[in-house]
Amino acid sequence: MPSDCIPFSDTGYFSSLIQDYLDQKSELKSLYNRYPEINQFSEQIVEKQQSFSKPTRATLVAALEKQYTRTQISKVTEHNIQLLLKDTTFTVTTGHQLNLFTGPLYFLYKIVSAINLAKQLKATYPNQHFIPVYWMATEDHDFDEINFFNFKGKKLRWNKQSGGAVGQLDTKGLDKVLEIFSAEVGLGDNAEKLKSLFAEAYLKHNTLTDATRYLANALFGDSGLVIVDGDDKSLKQLFVPFVKEELLNQISHKTILPSANALEDLGYPVQVNPREINLFYLDQGLRERIIKRGGRYYVNDTAMEWSESEILEELTEYPERFSPNVMMRPLYQEVILPNLCYIGGGGELAYWLELKAYFNAVDIPFPILLLRNSVLLKNQKQADKQAKLNISDKDLFLKSHELINKKVRQVSNIEIDFTSQRNHLKNQFSDLYELAAQTDASFLNAVKAQEVKQLKGLDTLERRLLKAQRLKLKDHVKRVTKLQNDLFPQQSLQERTANFSEFYLEYGEELIDLLLQTLDPLSLKFDIVTTK
């Protein structure tokens, strides 16, 4: 499968913070532990091994075995779970919401990044074991962000009343989504496989957590992916000391806020601001913030409240009811997993970069942060059209009007560039400025005004000429526009809008294999992959 890549900075879709992180700008080095290079993992391994206990490993494995009770898993995944008992075994983790039918295409790229990194680490450090992990965001409550997926420009939505953690939602009503999807996906072997995959996941499992586990396991189980649900009482018990510290001393707010302010002082927008208490209270149909006020603890928008001793008693008896928010979830993950690296998108890494001082304060190793693989998939027909139109990969990422104007200038038989005319005009006015210098200021201002007016006139004429040529070359413009719209649906990155099913429909099970064979998680560049 032919592939190429361009720097993330050439795409125009990644923040200055992420670009500067990839460039290892010195101003950011205090905000992360080690840079994502293969040789940096040796010290990370030692640091994590020294801090992660055998009892924690035993609790983790027992929890995973229970979570997988109703899921048929591959031999390699089963083996990987048992390997977690060994103190020479480590994880590389990515996380994602429980989006309907995986949601955006980059769900696949996150997991492929984790699987391929685990393989590279094993090749480099053969005496250790490395397990790819997908952390399901089962405790998230933003249902509107996950209740749909896009298929060929159409949004297929699950209409349902929701409340509380999305992982606990029942899957009723998804048969209606399957009916619509079945009509859209059509006929053929791959279409039937997609329908079956959806039906098996969502019609034969009672909760969104179980359905998502089935789906991710069906797609990646053969690669040994281990899927973790953090909404688990035994795992939450491991996190109790950190929740207690948060309730009593609000340590996350005290340590994260200075880092967030430092990022802001450097000119970067802050991704997430910490709250005084970064915990939710979780119950059936409920996930609301815990607030401390006047020495007592309250659950926002409810009548629930406790004294200090009462809430600590609640924590001891019901640890599963205390849910970390976005600021504390990373710590929870690192407490219960022997993790070396977190793999995420640009937005995720932006808030992870606020957290290192917090990890230091609670004495938990901060993982290596790796930007996930990003990919533009195009088929051979699209690649041929691109070559015929003489559009470079970098040009594909231009805004639509910029790409059209550039191509019109290139193919036009008329020179649409008034630079020489501007320079000629400026030379003429330089003589006038010499003359104006010998008289009063009013004449000098008149010369300046006339120069500005005539330069603006040239700008207007150039734009009108460009517009006229766009009309004359409308067939060429149409072909350029169609190609870019096909590759960048909704004028956005393909991976952020399209669903994997569009590509699975064409390539079937080979799609996953092609990604696993092609993507290098440590390349730190944007991949452009031409499928066969």
Quote the pLDDT of residue 430: 72
Question: pLDDT digit string (tens) for 5-15?
Answer: 999 999 999 99
Q: Between the CA of residue 162 and those of 158, 175, 286, 412, what are the distances in Å?
A: 11, 17, 10, 56
Q: Which residues pair with 134 in a beta bridge?
A: 94, 227
Res. 360: pLDDT tops 90:
yes
The answer to whether 375 and 109 have CB atoms below 8 angstroms apart is yes
Three-state secondary structure call for residue 468: helix
**In sequence order, which residues have a C-beta less than 8 Å from that of residue 156 and are 6 or more positions away?**
100, 101, 148, 149, 150, 177, 180, 181, 184
DSSP state of 423: H
Question: pLDDT digit string (tens) for 98-115?
Answer: 999 999 999 999 999 999
Average pLDDT value for residue range 37-44: 98
Res. 438: pLDDT tops 80:
no
Quote the pLDDT of residue 372: 98
Query: How many helices (H) does the chain have, and how many strands (E)?
Result: 24, 15
Average pLDDT value for residue range 385-397: 94
Question: pLDDT digit string (tens) for 141-194?
Answer: 999 999 999 999 999 999 999 889 999 999 999 999 999 999 999 999 999 999
The answer to whether 135 and 228 have CB atoms below 8 angstroms apart is yes
Quote the pLDDT of residue 397: 97
